[in-house]
Amino acid sequence: MARTYRYSPPASPEEAAAGAAIMAQSFAATVEQEKTYIDTLGHDNLRLVRHGDEILGGLVFLPMGQWFGGQRVAMSGVGSVAIAPQARGQGAARFLMGSAVQEMAQAGVAISTLYPAVQRLYHQVGYGPGGTYGLWDIATAQIPEQRSSLELYPIALAPHQLLEADRQQAWGQTYAGGLDRHPFLWQRLVNPAEGVSFAYGLGSDQSPQGYVIYRQNRDRSGQTILTIQAWAAASQTAIASLWTFFAQHRSQIDRIQWSGGVVDPLAMALPEQRASLRSLTQWMTRIVTVEAALTQRGYPHGVAAELHLDIQDPLVATNQGRFVLTVEEGQGQITPGGRGDLVVPIDALATLFTGLRSAQTLRALGLIEATPEVATLTTALFAVDSPWMADFF
Ligand SMILES: CC(C)(COP(=O)(O)OP(=O)(O)OC[C@H]1O[C@@H](n2cnc3c(N)ncnc32)[C@H](O)[C@@H]1OP(=O)(O)O)[C@@H](O)C(=O)NCCC(=O)NCCS
């Protein structure tokens, strides 16, 4: 017989601690680490699943933003999804995630993004492939010498100042998928307990052109690594200046490593393909509230069109059915009804929304139904551009 589960926030600090203990066991972390994580995020961002009185697992929400089409979309990150080993394989995680999606939909959250250890689980509740995250690496000796035109100057490591620096760069307006980080992610970037970080601005205080935050360490084989934790650059000149700065570390630093997408602006700024991808993973996105997601996202300027959607979402009733997306001057409006020219399950809509795959590709794979003309229009509206993130959560 199917088990009955309940979903709720923790009712007490003891319940939060019980959730932290399951997460610690599930992710081979210490209970102290998970407790600190949950305490920092706030217990109101923790959700638990239980059977009877027994707490079986939980997850955390990280409310933040993610940039698509040059606009910030309200995004709730989901992390630390964990079920106690003795309770696995009986649908507890599917119930937990399904409940979380419904709760986010009731709150009107536009989208949700997560890193899946188990893709099947998240597909079942409507998440689709959203973009890429990988670890890039280059030997410092391979960075060509170039003249730098921009100065770098040390900047304070205060998270709020870095957040401000990020906003000034309008970073996400350039690259699809970039995060407007949750304060916890900023704190983690500069947390001295995780190593000494260095931060530099690019250009000048009066006319900032970007920034970089990095750590230096020695790996097991004795190689010295400079790890870029976060960066932004307003132009190709600014990126070239960053490379010159990294190259100037070559007498002591063996390798430079950073996180980026499969199509990565730092790697692409090098004249030769000397940087390599050490690992690659795909994050997944869920369109939680169709209207909020499609109106908060930006669209190409100069395109005025109507797209008639027929959305299939078995989990969130308000997303199910026909909608017309009207795009004008880079903005989208949603109205119920229409012809339903594009038949799209909610997970495939996420993959279109982020711009990871074109409608033509999804159509060829049988993941959406549309005429070739409607597929062409869909791709033009969602402007496919290899979305990526540099943060893992
Ligand atoms: C991953 C985890 C949360 C799954 O919990 P669970 O309660 O066993 O999952 P469910 O029983 O609800 O399974 C839901 C679906 O995912 C599938 N699934 C679960 N674990 C899986 C795994 N390790 N590999 C592949 N598929 C898996 C199930 O088969 C099921 O699909 P089905 O209905 O088609 O059979 C649990 O194993 C866990 O806590 N692992 C350690 C922490 C972790 O990796 N968390 C995920 C972080 S993103």
Domain boundaries, the chain: 6-109, 134-281, 289-382
Instruction: Please tell me whether residue 97 adopts helix, strand or coil conformation.
Output: helix
- Distance (angstroms) between ligand 1 centre and the Cα of 119 equals 9
Looking at residue 66, its pLDDT comes to 95
pLDDT averaged per 10 residues, the chain (length 393): 91 97 97 94 97 97 95 96 98 98 98 97 98 98 86 82 66 82 87 88 85 94 95 90 95 97 95 95 98 97 96 98 98 98 98 98 98 98 92 94
Distance between first and last Cα of the chain:
35
Same fold across 6-109 and 134-281? yes
Q: What is the pLDDT of residue 335?
A: 98
Closest CA to 391 of 127, 64, 105: 64
Which atom in ligand 1 lies closest to the alpha carbon of residue 84? 39
Q: Residues 129, 134, 122, CA angle at the centre, nearest 5°? A: 30
Whole-number pLDDT of residue 165: 67
Nearest to 60 by CA among 81, 89, 35: 81
pTM strictly above 0.85: yes
Find the 80 Cα to ligand 1 centroid distance in Å: 13
Q: Round to whole Å and give the CA distance between 235 and 284.
A: 29
Mutate which of 95, 120, 125 to test ligand 1's pocket (most atoms within 8 Å of Cβ)? 120
Taking the centre of ligand 1 as the mean of its atom positions, its distance from the CA of residue 81, in whole angstroms, is 10
pLDDT at 1: 61
How many residues appear in the chain?
393
Residue nearest to atom 35 of ligand 1 (CA): 89
CA dist., res. 148 & res. 143, Å (int): 13
**Best residue for ligand 1 mutational test, from 118, 283, 392 (most atoms within 8 Å of Cβ):** 118
User: Helix, strand, coil % (nearest 5) of the chain?
Assistant: 35, 35, 35
Which CATH number applies to 134-281: 3.40.50.12780, 3.40.630.30, 1.10.150.120, 3.40.50.1360? 3.40.630.30
CATH number of 6-109: 3.40.630.30
Q: Whose CA is nearest to atom 4 of ligand 1?
A: 93
Tokens of 278: 């050490």
Task: Tell me how many degrees the CA angle 136-141-143 measures, rounded to the nearest 5.
Answer: 60
Q: Looking at the domain 289-382, which fold is it?
A: Nonspecific Lipid-transfer Protein; Chain A (3.30.1050)
Q: Which residues line ligand 1 (CB under 6 A)?
A: 26-27, 81-83, 88-94, 116-118, 120-121, 124
